């Protein structure tokens, strides 16, 4: 069930974002592009439902995701290699 923080994000995308943030699990091409701040690739790889949720995803990341886990391809790769929040805790 979505809460105010996640309204507008399809559940399958939200699950992927949560796993990425928590454990550094790699994302699919659309979400990887969004997290990497690659608008062109995000638009080219989005299905219609994902495309309509683009704003909600960016707002969720900006408001609730750790800053080091998004914003560039380098940040994305580093977050995956590091194992997300769980990797930081060990």
Instruction: For residues 33 and 53, give the distance between their C-alpha atoms in angstroms, rounded to a whole number.
Output: 14
Q: How many of the other CB atoms lie within 10 Å of CB of 71?
A: 15
Domain edges within the chain:
11-89
| 42-57: pLDDT as tens digits | 999 999 999 999 999 9
Question: Could you tell me how far CA 90 lies from the centroid of its own chain?
Answer: 22
Is residue 1 scored above 50 in pLDDT?
no
For residues 21-43, give the mean pLDDT.
Answer: 98
Task: Collapse the DSSP code of 7 into the 3-class scheme (helix H, G, I; strand E, B; otherwise coil) and give the result.
Answer: coil
Identify the pLDDT of residue 90.
Answer: 74
Is residue 16 scored above 50 in pLDDT?
yes
Is residue 14 scored above 50 in pLDDT?
yes
Q: 């994302």: which residue's tokens?
A: 27
CB-based contacts of 79: which residues, under 8 Å, 6+ apart?
20, 24, 68, 69, 70
- Using an 8 Å Cβ cutoff, are 24 and 61 in contact? no
Q: How many CA atoms lie within 13 A of 89 on its CB side?
A: 7
Confidence label for 3 from pLDDT (cuts 50, 70 and 90): low
């Amino acid at each position: 069930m979505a809460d105010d923080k996640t309204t507008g994000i399809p559940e399958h995308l939200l699950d992927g974002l949560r796993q990425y943030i928590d454990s550094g699990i790699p994302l699919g091409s659309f979400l990887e592009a969004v997290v990497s701040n690659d608008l062109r690739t995000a638009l080219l790889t989005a299905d219609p439902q994902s495309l309509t949720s683009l704003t909600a995803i960016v707002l969720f990341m900006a408001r609730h995701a750790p800053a080091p886990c998004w914003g560039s391809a380098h940040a994305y790769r580093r977050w995956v290699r590091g194992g997300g929040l769980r990797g930081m805790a060990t």
